[in-house]
Structure 1
Amino acid sequence: MKSACVAAALLLGALSVGAAGKEPVSFSHNDWELACDNTRTCRAAGYQSDHTRPSEPVSMLLTRPAGPNTAIEVQLQVGGGSEVKGPLRFKVGKVTISGLEADTASFDAGQVRAILPELLKGDEATVTAPGGNQWTLSLAGLNAVLLKMDEAQGRIGTPGALVRKGSRPETSVLPPVPAPFVRTVTPVKARAGDDALAARIFPSLDLSEAAESCNNRDRLDAKAIAVSRLTNTKVLLSLGCGMGAYNYSSLLWIANDKPPYAPVALEANGEFGAGDGSVTSSMKGRGVGDCWSSEIWHFNGTGFVRTSASSDGMCRGFAGGAWNLPRYVSRPVDAAPSLTSSKP
């Protein structure tokens, strides 16, 4: 039954692995999802069946860096807040692991070796706590997701593959990709009169996107624009655009502080943090906040560059999301202090 599920899953529309590592890989099937970031580190997360009551959430995370002979980290958590008392017992197939932490448990190397074959063969695993509390982890989709992980990391046909092992040498496994360095610049302090720039620059803004997509398009005027100082000559303009019950988005421009203002629209959207020159976009998948996506950009002296992105696509009852599943990571590096000087 498992092999049939794997074959069917691989026919689904997952992102192409192609040049693995150059682009993030995302894939999901049944109750499991995969996120491989731009360094080729992959994370697979599984949950209770979608038919299980939301008050009984459980999730397992398998993390594996790229490269030959890398180890697999396995973590487990259950929902229930302060009512959950440990130690927990995890059972899958013929293997039982006792004494696990009630918050977020990490399996040691020996335990990982013991449970992996059983996870791949089974349909579900159970977690129990003293007092009779029990959670059921679905394994539907696990094989398909781990096969996609092997593919993304170039492991298929090697001894270290999780699903489809073979005799191809481990040296053929794709190496990790270093996270890129990103130069960041801290904005200068606000100046007297910056607030007045909104009215002056507003006529120069292209508001066609706002008029088409913003839910406050009947209030598009200079009073809706916030101005933040970036450099001695540049400012950031922010217009709240998508303002719902629990999500927020904005349109952003960089403009000169003197004519010609020449505003340039940005890909970045979200809330601006003047302290570190960041723009953060966070979106809840639904109101209870059990699944999120986020993206962060930083000012580099001339524009905003993406520095991180993450999301968990399955809303399975964990407030704030069960895990952080990065899709893009970087290494921000502060620029020289002289680049952020507030002197004219």
Structure 2
Amino acid sequence: MTLRSLLLTASAALTLPLALGACGSKEGEAPSSAPAVAGSAVETAATSPAATVQTAANPPSVTREFRDWTATCDNTNHCVAFGSAHENMGFVLVSLAPGPEARPVVHMGGWGLEDGEGDVYAVIDGRRYAGENTKMDEEGDVIAFKTPSPQLLHDLGNGSFMALKRGDEQMKVSLGGAAAAFLWIDERQGRLNTPTALIRRGDRPAAEVPAGPAAPRVRVAAAVAQTGLVQDDLSPALLAHPKVKECLAETRRGERFEPNVEVFRLAADKLLWAVPCGEGAYNFNQTYFITPADGTAPQPVVFPTAQGSEQDLVNSRYDPKTRTLFAFGKGRGIGDCGRMGTWAWTGERFALLDEKAMPSCTAIPQDLWPTTWRATT
């Protein structure tokens, strides 16, 4: 089966009932902690992740929808706006860092044009735009415009018809909402009426565009030796914990599901336990506990996210060498949508280092996903 066929047959499975894997749903369907904004746009504002040093200058991470386009700005004001092609087979994405020196970068592409000849290019209201072509995989293509022309940005924000083409093949792209998404980013970054604005340019000096706020800093604890660990065996205290009993009922693989339990040493007197807690076709849930070295008194780990906090993670793995834990909840099996995050152990708790989210399953490569949280170490 080709990727194109896989995309079309998977279109009905776009939602995932896990915080790190939501995909294909409107922001207005988010939990009540994500307030809706009146009008055609919907906004989700993120809270400050616990255990991350947060300054008053850091704005919340926010995602808004504008008709067929979505825009995200993270806590350092790095912003991305994107729209999708017909049948979610492709995308157009505009990214813009904060500050007066930043310039936008445009990427376009997707699957579905593999039967055409030549390079992929864009057509907006009859004007042709050819960028740097790269292969996303054996069928997908990405066009990069690292220094997009003012005309391209103008047409993206004001055009009436756009298509991605290769030879006789084409995919239509909706520009409905692009102008509003660009305007929102210009307002968020303070670049309205300057030559650096995405859509509302003017004569205000670019030097007046404020620099982006510094990312909060996380202090990562030093690594410790992973010695003297009893693998694949939950302690009696953990087995008696109500959450573990719940997970055991959902993921029973024998009496204790030991082959799927992992334990790591956080300190000489502190252990981290990873317990399986549900699974699907391509998503495997884990819940985490911290105990003393003897496995008593288990405390569930709560992981801060850009939108709040979570206890259950998806497709997660702790690396004791780097003291970081990574999770990736997929919106569908090919991994072109969902949410991923990395946390660092500070010696006291897990702090969020970075998070990316792609709410629409539109073939956007993971390295282009909008960042919803970033920190430094």
Coarse TM-score class (shorter-chain normalised)? 0.7 to 0.9
Which of 267, 285, 292 aligns to 1:256? It is: 292
Q: Does 1:90 align with 2:127?
A: no
Q: Choose the corresponding residue for 2:332, options 275, 280, 286.
A: 286
Is it true that 1:302 corresponds to 2:348 in the alignment? yes
SS at match of 1:230: strand
3-state SS of the aligned residue for 2:183?
Answer: helix
Q: Which amino acid aligns with 1:308?
A: D
What does residue 342 of structure 1 align with? none
Q: Deviation digits for residues 149-207 of structure 1, max 9, x if unmatched?
A: 1222123354533334456554543321222332224543333352387324426x642
How far, CA to CA, are the matches of 1:324 and 1:139 in structure 2? Answer: 19
1:211-230 equivalence runs, <5 A: 211=246, 215-216=250-251, 223=258, 225-230=261-266
AA aligned to 1:107 is F
1:12 and 2:50 equivalent? no
Take 1:319 and 1:146, find their aligned partners in 2: how far apart are those partners?
Answer: 19
Q: In 1, are the aligned partners of 2:229 and 2:263 still within 8 Å (CA)? A: no
1:336 alignment partner in structure 2: none
Q: Do residues 122 (structure 1) and 152 (structure 2) align?
A: no
The offset of 1:94, in angstroms, is 5.0
Name the counterpart of 1:242: 278
The residue matched to 2:322 in structure 1 has which SS? coil
2:346, 2:170 → 1: CA distance? 50
The letter of the residue matching 2:160 is D
TM-score (norm 2): 0.71
SS of structure 1 residue aligned to 2:44: coil
Aligned counterparts, 1:118-197, within 5 A: 118-130=155-167, 132-165=168-201, 170-185=206-221, 187-195=223-231
Tell me how far apart the structure 2 counterparts of residues 220 and 155 of structure 1 sit (CA, whole Å).
60
Alignment partner of 2:231: what SS? helix
Rounded to whole Å, the distance in 1 between the matches of 2:280 and 2:46 is 35
Select the structure with the greater relative contact order (CA < 8 A; seq sep ≥ 6): 2
Structure 1 runs not aligned, ≥5 long: 1-7, 333-344
Aligned: 1:323 with 2:368? yes
Contact 1:20/1:153, CA 8 A, preserved across alignment:
no
Paired amino acid for 1:191 = T
Cross-structure match for 1:4: none
- What displacement does 1:26 show? 0.7
- 1:321 to partner: Cα distance: 5.4
- AA matched with 2:143: A
Distance change >3 Å, CA 9–CA 315, structure 1 → 2: farther
The equivalent residue for 1:340 is none
Any conservation in 2 of the 1:211–1:217 contact (CA below 8 Å)?
no
Return the TM-score normalized by structure 1. Answer: 0.77
- Give the whole-Å Cα distance in 1 for the aligned partners of 2:248 and 2:71: 31
Retained in 1: the 8 A contact 2:83–2:178? Answer: yes
Aligned to 2:301: 266
Give aligned pairs, total.
315
AA of the residue aligned to 1:47 = S
Matched with 2:143 is 105
The amino acid of 2:291's aligned partner reads A
Distance in 2 (CA, whole Å) between partners of 1:16 and 1:167 is: 31
> Which amino acid letter does the alignment assign opposite residue 238 of structure 1?
A
CA distance in 1, matches of 2:43, 2:221: 37
Structure 1 counterpart of 2:82, one-letter code:
A
1:40 aligned onto 2:40? no
Per the alignment, residue 103 of structure 2 pairs with: 71
Q: 1:243 to 1:187 in 2, by over 3 A?
A: farther
Contact 1:309–1:328 (8 Å) recurs in 2: yes
Instruction: Quote how far apart the aligned CAs of 1:62 are.
Output: 0.9
Alignment deviations for residues 89-121 of structure 1 (CA, whole Å, 9 cap, x no partner) = 322125322364153222253x42121112222
Identity %: 24
Cα distance between partner residues in 1 of 2:300 and 2:324: 16
* Structural RMSD (CA): 3.4
| d(CA) in 2 for partners of 1:135, 1:170 | 36
Name the amino acid aligned to 2:347: G
2:232, 2:165 → 1: CA distance? 62
Q: Deviations over 1:203-238 (max 9, x none)?
A: 6x6425863998348989584743222222211011
The whole-number CA distance in structure 1 between the counterparts of 2:232 and 2:126 is 70
Q: Is the CA contact 2:328–2:340 (under 8 Å) kept in the aligned structure 1? A: yes
CA distance in 1: counterparts of 2:268 and 2:367, whole angstroms: 43
